[in-house]
Structure 1
Amino acid sequence: MRRVAIIGAGQAGLQLALGLQGAGYDVTVVSERTADEVRNGRVMSTQLMFGPALALEWAAGLNLWDDLAPVMSGFEMTQWDPAAQASRSRFAASFDDEVRSVDQRLKLSVWLELFETRGGRVEYRAVGAEELPEIAGRHDLTVIATGRGALSCLFGRDAQRSLYDSPQRTLACFYASGVEGLGAASDAYARVTGVSPVGDAIVMRALTVGGRCDILLIEGKFGGPYDCWADRPVPEEGLRRALDLLRVYAPWEYERFAKSEPTDAGAALYGAVTPAVRHGVAALGDGQYVLGMADAVVVNDPITGQGANNAARSAAHYLDAIVRRGTLPFDGPWMRQTFEDYWEHARHVHAFTDLMLRQPPADHLGRLLGAAFEYPAIAHRFTNGYADPLDYRDWLMDPASAGRYLAEIVRDG
């Protein structure tokens, strides 16, 4: 029986661990926290998941919350200038497939317990880089599945594939209960309100440890009004501050959130993310290598909601590659090819996220999004591209293809 060590117990690491376990591998997961510590801890992300990523969970039998997690039926984008009090520009479009968000505290704690219940081995501790040679020596394959801490730095930034070398937004995330709808279809949508010099307020429905809730993610431009979280306030104070901002910059969202409260004591998260692509394989010396996956090697700002989707795709791809390898060694060349095969899709996700972060915005992106407010076909295609950003390659990512696509839409009316 081949032995695999997975360091990190997030979406990618646990999905891979459960898949390998089901395929008959001897799997050890190293997690810094127990299931109870995860469940009772601080929120970790917005974990918005689109149809293709959800399908991977369904195929693996890990869709344990279908009867509980709310489905977001569409997407709404609003742009406006509150200083001018101009009428807002808005488009809305339906998702072609289900879109859901399940609090990772809930999902990962249950998956971790499920892995142990099925006989999996979990070591609860932090791992330092100096321990990796010993771990790699005891296993046929060692995978690093954590994007936090020193271990991810082992892989080194790939300067040719990384556009940014610092965070482009300051982030604040709140889980709230008591959010009231406006009686519109968009109450059940994922919604973005963008104010050009300030940033974006992003809202979605979710399932958390205490039941259904709404998530507010504020993506602030540095130095602007949304850049006000340096003191890391407790959830109650943070949400109150966020409501004051919504009152000015997204008043329709303020109406919904005015009576809301944090869902629990861990319902706030603050920080900033540096988008980066790292090398997929790290050499430990003496012919030993470790393989990086998901956020350990490809990091996206959450503005496009791709993190959990990338993790699910990475886990599914690595599972398939490992099983197909059979009894052959998991050597350095195989690891590098496994990452490159994953990158072939992940590069489209990363390019889309980088494009949405760019300041000032690319002219062709502005023209297309502006046209989406007039042409429903553009709004629908843009909305559903989030599920698989590969589609953006053909019409959104560069000025020439964007110009051709827009001309076709205008010509066809």
Structure 2
Amino acid sequence: MAYQLLTTHQFDVTIFTPQSADEVRTGRIRSTQVHFSSTIARERLYRMPTWPNAQELTSVHVSVGGETFFAGSLDKPAYSIDQRLYFSECMADLQRQGVHFVYAKVSSEQLSGMVESFDLVVDCTGRSGPVAPFPLDSSMPKIATPLRKCSVGYFLGVENAKPVGILAHILPGEGELFEIPALTEVGPVTILFVEAVPGGQLDVFHRAHHAQDFCSIMLDITESFFPEIRNRLTREQFSLCDDHAYLRVAVRSEVHIPYCEVNGRFVVGCGDSVVLNDPITGQGDNTASYLTEQLFCALLDDASREWDETTFQSYWEKSKPYVNHVVSWSHAMLRPLPEHILGMIMEGRTNQAVADRIANWFRTPSSAYNDFFYKDEIHENGGHEQ
């Protein structure tokens, strides 16, 4: 959002954050981020830092029960950058461009005072938020309790599968393991991300009390359930890339109406603070990128007058169909897959066009929504670029 506002030369931007760039860079990993082509295009449009050393991800591999089914080709490459590196580089770059940083955590009480000091406050506090009292959107799909326990580590010693891309290993009834080549401060790594059905055989990372425990448990899981990974893993080199390179979390999906009044002034939200979704479909960063662009466009459309409720209603009305597609598809992926989707996956073994179509669900989530929920319709283009 800050980069978008800077391009207009009309706004002074202040960012409140509890951590400095150095603290972000050396802290705990934050996610399993993959930036698909639409997000990358926005990064280039708004002149964000580029990543020439990042490995291009050109495919999505799918295996079921330890058997590799297919590798579908992405229409356009993706990449994954450790958010510690990504955010810290962006913070330093924004400072050079004149953005003011205040290193403090904002409370709901402080928010009441902030709205008097700025023309607009944007709540981007992430999955720990929101700070603003945004109401839940009762029309959006809901999940009462987390359907997966998420455990992720950034590892050395894992050889990439070919063609290089994202690997989705599905273990029916137990969960999933995703492999994602990524760039970090120390160079290339492989993200191993387990989505475990609570109480199942993959739900064992609660035993990890430190980095070495986490590494040992991940090694055991690959040996027991994912032999295709184990065959590309060098035991002597297999380790976390640093002691902070692992994370455990369980996400309860929530969608908020992303604007409200605080002391008579509007506060607006973006990203995980208002659209919190299980990471099974890899859409967190991409949804946040989409939302910021919709908000930016709404602000510019009304730049000649005072921003009011109609401005933020327009932002949400334009964003909501896309959000619904992402959330509905993600919820469907957390449950037993529909028969017609299982049929598509089986067909992908012998039909490269179907394999490619499945791969591009992740690039264009509206195409996934169409395939999951409109099985009787033929979508020749597999959805639209967002």
TM-score, normalised via structure 1 length: 0.87
CA-CA distance at 1:391 after TM superposition: 2.0
Q: Could you say which residue in structure 1 is the equivalent of 2:175?
A: 199
Kept in 1, the 8 Å contact 2:29–2:82? The answer is yes
Q: Could you say which residue in structure 1 is the equivalent of 2:61?
A: 76
1:376 equivalent to 2:352? Answer yes
Q: 2:227 aligns with which of 243, 248, 251?
A: 251
Q: Distance in 1 between matches of 2:105 and 2:218?
A: 34
Q: Could you say which residue in structure 1 is the equivalent of 2:338?
A: 362
Q: Which amino acid aligns with 1:395?
A: D
Quick check: 317-326 or 171-180, which moved more?
317-326
Could you say what secondary structure the match of 1:385 adopts?
coil
Could you say what secondary structure the match of 1:126 adopts?
coil
> Residues 163 and 373 (structure 1 numbering): CA distance in 2 closer, same or farther, change over 3 Å?
farther
Q: CA offsets, 1:18-54, max 9 Å, x none?
A: 2212322011111111000000001001111111111
1:48 equivalent to 2:25? Answer no
CA-CA distance at 1:104 after TM superposition: 0.6
Q: CA offsets, 1:355-377, max 9 Å, x none?
A: 1112x332332222232223222
Q: 1:351 aligns with which of 328, 331, 336?
A: 328
Kept in 2, the 8 Å contact 1:129–1:151? The answer is no
Kept in 2, the 8 Å contact 1:129–1:150? The answer is no
CA-CA distance at 1:73 after TM superposition: 1.9
Could you say what secondary structure the match of 1:192 adopts?
strand
Q: 2:246 aligns with which of 244, 253, 268?
A: 268
Q: Could you say which residue in structure 2 is the equivalent of 1:91?
A: 70
Q: CA offsets, 1:206-254, max 9 Å, x none?
A: 1011111111000100111111122443222202101101111111102
Runs of 4+ residues over 4 Å off in structure 1: none
1:32 equivalent to 2:18? Answer yes
Could you say what secondary structure the match of 1:395 adopts?
helix
Q: Could you say which residue in structure 2 is the equivalent of 1:3?
A: none
Alignment of 1:11-410 (within 5 A): 16-24=1-9, 25-65=11-51, 67-80=52-65, 88=67, 90-152=69-131, 154-181=133-160, 185-186=162-163, 188-259=164-235, 260-285=238-263, 287-358=264-335, 360-401=336-377
Kept in 2, the 8 Å contact 1:232–1:270? The answer is no
Q: Distance in 1 between matches of 2:309 and 2:116?
A: 14
Q: Distance in 2 between matches of 1:196 and 1:393?
A: 21
CA-CA distance at 1:189 after TM superposition: 2.0
Kept in 1, the 8 Å contact 2:183–2:189? The answer is yes
Kept in 1, the 8 Å contact 2:141–2:324? The answer is no
Structure (1/2) with the larger helix percentage: 1
Could you say what secondary structure the match of 2:147 adopts?
coil
Kept in 2, the 8 Å contact 1:77–1:90? The answer is yes
> Residues 240 and 59 (structure 1 numbering): CA distance in 2 closer, same or farther, change over 3 Å?
same
Q: Distance in 2 between matches of 1:154 and 1:147?
A: 14
Could you say what secondary structure the match of 1:151 adopts?
coil
Could you say what secondary structure the match of 2:55 adopts?
coil
Kept in 1, the 8 Å contact 2:108–2:132? The answer is no
> Residues 201 and 150 (structure 1 numbering): CA distance in 2 closer, same or farther, change over 3 Å?
closer
Could you say what secondary structure the match of 1:138 adopts?
coil
Could you say what secondary structure the match of 2:38 adopts?
helix
> Residues 77 and 150 (structure 1 numbering): CA distance in 2 closer, same or farther, change over 3 Å?
closer
> Residues 278 and 197 (structure 1 numbering): CA distance in 2 closer, same or farther, change over 3 Å?
same
- Structure 1: any 5+ residue segments left out of the alignment? 1-15, 82-87, 407-413
Kept in 2, the 8 Å contact 1:133–1:288? The answer is no
CA-CA distance at 1:153 after TM superposition: 6.8
CA-CA distance at 1:145 after TM superposition: 0.8
* Aligned-pair Cα RMSD in Å: 1.9
CA-CA distance at 1:161 after TM superposition: 0.4
TM-score, normalised via structure 2 length: 0.92
Q: Could you say which residue in structure 2 is the equivalent of 1:12?
A: none
Quick check: 68-77 or 250-259, which moved more?
250-259
